[in-house]
Amino acid sequence: MKRHRVLVTTALVGGSGLKSLSRFAEVYRSDDLSRSSILDILPKVDAAIFFSWPPFLTKENLSRMKRLRFVQSILVGVNHVPFGHLSDEVIVSSNAGAYSLEVGEHAWGLLLAGAKKIAEHHSRIREGERSMKAFTGAADDIILLRGRTLGIIGYGGIGKMVAKFGRAFGMKVIAWGRRHDRLATSFRGQRGLHRLLKESDAVLLSLPLTHATMGMIGKKELSVMKKTSVLVNVARGGLVEEEALYHHLVTNPSFRYASDVWWFKQGRETLETDFPIARLPNFVGTPHMSGPTGIASGRPVKLAVKNVIRYLKGLRPENVVDRSEYPSARGDDLQKWNP
Amino acid sequence: MKRHRVLVTTALVGGSGLKSLSRFAEVYRSDDLSRSSILDILPKVDAAIFFSWPPFLTKENLSRMKRLRFVQSILVGVNHVPFGHLSDEVIVSSNAGAYSLEVGEHAWGLLLAGAKKIAEHHSRIREGERSMKAFTGAADDIILLRGRTLGIIGYGGIGKMVAKFGRAFGMKVIAWGRRHDRLATSFRGQRGLHRLLKESDAVLLSLPLTHATMGMIGKKELSVMKKTSVLVNVARGGLVEEEALYHHLVTNPSFRYASDVWWFKQGRETLETDFPIARLPNFVGTPHMSGPTGIASGRPVKLAVKNVIRYLKGLRPENVVDRSEYPSARGDDLQKWNP
């Protein structure tokens, strides 16, 4: 049997990961190789593991990788993968579920920071407000979660974890997505989405950025939400239309957006926005922390390596992405694509 | 049977509360009375209901209230009550438990805002940081709650509610206080307190400010806590020594203090501090929101009125305070008192 060759394009895969992979394949670390040796090796590689998409895997270099059949992401989201430049024979696996714990806990923190106005009031105090009287009436829009409705859009690993937190807080949980379970009422389709948005006191976005989900929360969707709702995003900025969101926050001061994720500009996620959203009191933002927190635990790398080994052993890898859901051009084009 | 007279000193007791009380007593609202009529009525009053302690109930005026036997607080904390000027015959009831839901949820929001560094990172972005790279390593001190230990100091209504959230997040819960249940390991005494502080990854303060608890978290207690711990305070600022806390936060940047409550200065809670604590990145503060949020629900007033009616009916009121735990001088003296 011919031995597989695996290309590791990130230093996140350390000693024990490399050792595990070596039992099933020749392992090459792009960091160890000169530019010319990489070019020599590319045509022989069967499988690759990556974190952010490696800049050297351009359209041209990908076209040399005639033997490539499998790429494994260490991130959950694969919206930055240049699907259009990968041959149809390449299986792409995401790392769905690997960060559910970290992202789920972070999501609940964002939800409470918005619902309880913790970020807003903390900022006012931090920026110098010292009068208790200045905060009179500030409790008006504070959401007591008990008895309220939590809407979860994307009921995968993260969605299910957050649903559990919602139920522990005495909330009714409703969900929208392909998967569902008996613990959450399930809504489907565009009408189901609007119904969920209408009924929820807090809404979580925890689904991948694809053709179908890009900009799914636009002006119309925001307008059906409750005026005092909290929209939490731990998936991808591009799920929400930036301009529509900005205007909605300005005209609805009791509505809150709490997000760990940002929009892609020029192919990468950035804290730069087209509208001064980060200055709004009803915005809470963290710099995509939930991912690094997960990475620090070592679990995402371990799970990604395990999935590559499944492939090397001839087993069906987990979390195989449906490539038809992603644009066939470069990944950053997904940001421009809008249904 | 002689009819009781109840003095209502806050507009928070509205139509339905006044109506309920009227069935069992003559009801006087201090807001409706001139200064001289108040002085006429004081000697006839049996019971009073208050929110913050009414300024007109001075030492001198209290000494005229020969018939006063019961005062009911709408707040949970009674540390601002001038116990020393109340005759020994006066029963003081707090409103413990009335805000457990609101305070419990707020406490969990503060805990996550600290544990996940949501407030810190949100502030940095709000204040202009736009480089994702600037946040490299920022995940290092982020606490994944699952599998960690939550220490609860003061295991009453709020403590039990937060313990439930802790368990839903997969935390081990330990508690310190007079009460306990089979769901949390219980620690007692000074040694028990230190053990709890040492073992916990997050600590909640949810106990009354009394002689015994004033400044209970000082330099020594902070020093036994984990360097990456989160201390959450939803009870009273005075439980923690301000100066010791400030220096601890400065010298331990991974330690976090998240608080809804502030120190009393000149007899009232204020956002003014002796040290610039609100500017520290590892401080999260809200302006005592959990109380107003509870008040907005109407439940605390309803429960306080119900307890006054218990007294008027000749039943033992609930939440009777052990007066020996409070200083016998004016309430604000409690802030100066330090064991």
Read off the pLDDT of residues B301-332 as tens digits, 9 standing for 90 and up. 999 999 999 999 999 999 999 998 887 644 44
Nearest CA distance, B4 vs chain A (angstrom): 34
Cα–chain center distance at A36: 34
Whether B1 has a pLDDT exceeding 80, the answer reads: no
Whether A183 has a pLDDT exceeding 70, the answer reads: no
Where is A186: in which H helix or E strand? Answer: strand A185-187
Q: Scanning every residue of chain A, which has its alpha carbon at the shortest distance from the alpha carbon of B271?
A: A130
Whether B182 has a pLDDT exceeding 70, the answer reads: no
**Beta strands of B110-225 (E only): which ranges?**
149-153, 172-176, 185-187, 202-205
Q: Report the pLDDT value the prediction gives residue B292, as an integer from 0 to 100.
A: 78
Task: Give per-residue pLDDT as tens, B196-219.
Answer: 999 999 999 999 999 889 999 999
A169, two tokens: 């807080």
Among candidates A168, A278, A289 on the partner chain, residue whose Cβ is nearest the Cβ of B142: A289
Confidence of residue A330 (pLDDT cuts 50, 70, 90): very low
Whether A198 has a pLDDT exceeding 90, the answer reads: yes
How many CA atoms lie within 13 Å of B235's alpha carbon, on the beta-carbon side? 29
Confidence of residue B189 (pLDDT cuts 50, 70, 90): confident
Nearest CA distance, A248 vs chain B (angstrom): 19
Whether B339 has a pLDDT exceeding 50, the answer reads: no
User: What is the per-residue burial (b if ≥16 Cβ within 10 Å, else e) of B117-133?
Assistant: bbbbbbbbbbeeeeebe
> Is there a contact between B110 and A130 if contact means CB atoms under 8 Å apart?
no
Q: Report the pLDDT value the prediction gives residue B335, as an integer from 0 to 100.
A: 47
Q: Report the pLDDT value the prediction gives residue A1, as an integer from 0 to 100.
A: 54
Where is B8: in which H helix or E strand? Answer: strand B4-8
Q: Which residue has the higher pLDDT, B278 or A298?
A: B278
**Arithmetic mean of pLDDT over chain A:** 91
Confidence of residue A136 (pLDDT cuts 50, 70, 90): confident
> Is there a contact between A121 and B279 if contact means CB atoms under 8 Å apart?
no
Residue whose token pair is 């993260």: A158
C-alpha A168/C-alpha A111 separation (Å) is 14
**Using an 8 Å Cβ cutoff, are A232 and A206 in contact?**
no
Cα–chain center distance at B77: 5
C-alpha A226/C-alpha A230 separation (Å) is 9
Confidence of residue B266 (pLDDT cuts 50, 70, 90): confident
A191, two tokens: 């009408």
Highest mean pLDDT, choosing among A76-90, B174-188, B226-240: B226-240
Q: Which of B32, B73, B26, B58 is nearest to B45 (CA)?
A: B26
Backbone Cα Rg of chain B: 22
- Classify residue B89 as exposed, middle or buried by CB count within 10 Å of its CB (0-12, 13-18, 19+): exposed
> Is there a contact between B113 and A118 if contact means CB atoms under 8 Å apart?
yes
How many CA atoms lie within 13 Å of B35's alpha carbon, on the beta-carbon side? 2
Highest mean pLDDT, choosing among A135-139, B208-212, B220-224: B220-224
Task: Give per-residue pLDDT as tens, B51-88.
Answer: 989 999 999 999 999 999 999 999 988 988 999 999 99
Give the largest CA-CA distance in chain B.
77
**Beta strands of A229-320 (E only): which ranges?**
230-233, 256-259, 264-265, 268-269, 283-285
Which chain A residues contact residue B115 at CB under 8 A? 105, 109
Q: Report the pLDDT value the prediction gives residue B326, as an integer from 0 to 100.
A: 86
Distance set, CA B150 to CA A20, B159, B217, B284 (Å): 36, 11, 16, 18
Which chain A residues contact residue B261 at CB under 8 A? none
Q: Which residue has the higher pLDDT, A30 or A177?
A: A30
Confidence of residue A266 (pLDDT cuts 50, 70, 90): confident
Whether A95 has a pLDDT exceeding 90, the answer reads: yes
Which chain B residues contact residue A140 at CB under 8 A? 296
Nearest CA distance, A301 vs chain B (angstrom): 16
Which residues does A192 contact at the CB level (< 8 Å), separation at least 6?
A: A176
Distance set, CA B253 to CA A39, A213, B120, B264 (Å): 46, 40, 11, 26
User: Residues A16-23: contacts with CB within 8 Å, 24+ apart?
Assistant: A17/A301, A17/A302, A17/A305, A20/A305, A20/A306, A20/A309, A21/A305, A21/A308, A21/A309, A21/A312
Whether B185 has a pLDDT exceeding 50, the answer reads: yes
Tell me how crowded residue B114 is: count the other CB atoms within 10 A of its CB. Answer: 27
C-alpha A339/C-alpha A330 separation (Å) is 17
**Beta strands of B197-313 (E only): which ranges?**
202-205, 230-233, 256-259, 264-265, 268-269, 283-285
**Using an 8 Å Cβ cutoff, are B202 and B111 in contact?**
yes
Q: Scanning every residue of chain B, which has its alpha carbon at the shortest distance from the alpha carbon of A271?
A: B130
C-alpha B154/C-alpha B77 separation (Å) is 13
- Classify residue A310 as exposed, middle or buried by CB count within 10 Å of its CB (0-12, 13-18, 19+): middle
Among candidates B112, B278, B288 on the partner chain, residue whose Cβ is nearest the Cβ of A109: B112
- Classify residue A306 as exposed, middle or buried by CB count within 10 Å of its CB (0-12, 13-18, 19+): middle
Compute the average pLDDT of residues A123-138.
92
Confidence of residue A295 (pLDDT cuts 50, 70, 90): confident
Q: Which of B200, B212, B135 is nearest to B171 (CA)?
A: B200
Characterise B27 by phi-psi region: left (phi > 0), alpha (psi -120 to 50), beta (else). beta
**Arithmetic mean of pLDDT over chain B:** 91
Confidence of residue A85 (pLDDT cuts 50, 70, 90): very high
C-alpha B109/C-alpha A87 separation (Å) is 47
Q: Which residue has the higher pLDDT, B116 or A185?
A: B116
> Is there a contact between B112 and A117 if contact means CB atoms under 8 Å apart?
no
Nearest CA distance, A125 vs chain B (angstrom): 7
Cα–chain center distance at B323: 17
Whether B139 has a pLDDT exceeding 90, the answer reads: no
Q: Scanning every residue of chain B, which has its alpha carbon at the shortest distance from the alpha carbon of A161?
A: B169
Q: What's the angle, vertex CA B122, arms to CA B125 and CA B126, rounded to 5?
A: 40
Compute the average pLDDT of residues A296-321.
94
Nearest CA distance, A73 vs chain B (angstrom): 20
ipTM: 0.87
Among candidates B102, B115, B124 on the partner chain, residue whose Cβ is nearest the Cβ of A144: B102
Return the DSSP state at B95. -
Whether B334 has a pLDDT exceeding 60, the answer reads: no
Cα–chain center distance at B164: 19
Q: Report the pLDDT value the prediction gives residue B184, as an integer from 0 to 100.
A: 66
C-alpha A144/C-alpha B99 separation (Å) is 11
A41, two tokens: 């090796």
Confidence of residue A80 (pLDDT cuts 50, 70, 90): confident
Distance set, CA A178 to CA A42, A77, A189, B199 (Å): 37, 17, 10, 42
B7, two tokens: 């003095």
C-alpha A338/C-alpha A210 separation (Å) is 10
Q: Report the pLDDT value the prediction gives residue A77, as an integer from 0 to 100.
A: 86
**Using an 8 Å Cβ cutoff, are A327 and A334 in contact?**
yes
Q: Scanning every residue of chain B, which has its alpha carbon at the shortest distance from the alpha carbon of A127?
A: B279
Among candidates B105, B126, B135 on the partner chain, residue whose Cβ is nearest the Cβ of A123: B126
C-alpha B268/C-alpha A106 separation (Å) is 35
**Using an 8 Å Cβ cutoff, are B237 and B213 in contact?**
no
Compute the average pLDDT of residues B264-270.
89
Whether A66 has a pLDDT exceeding 60, the answer reads: yes
Q: State what percent of residues in chain A have pLDDT above 90.
A: 79
Q: Poorest-confidence range of A99-103, A149-153, A200-204?
A: A99-103
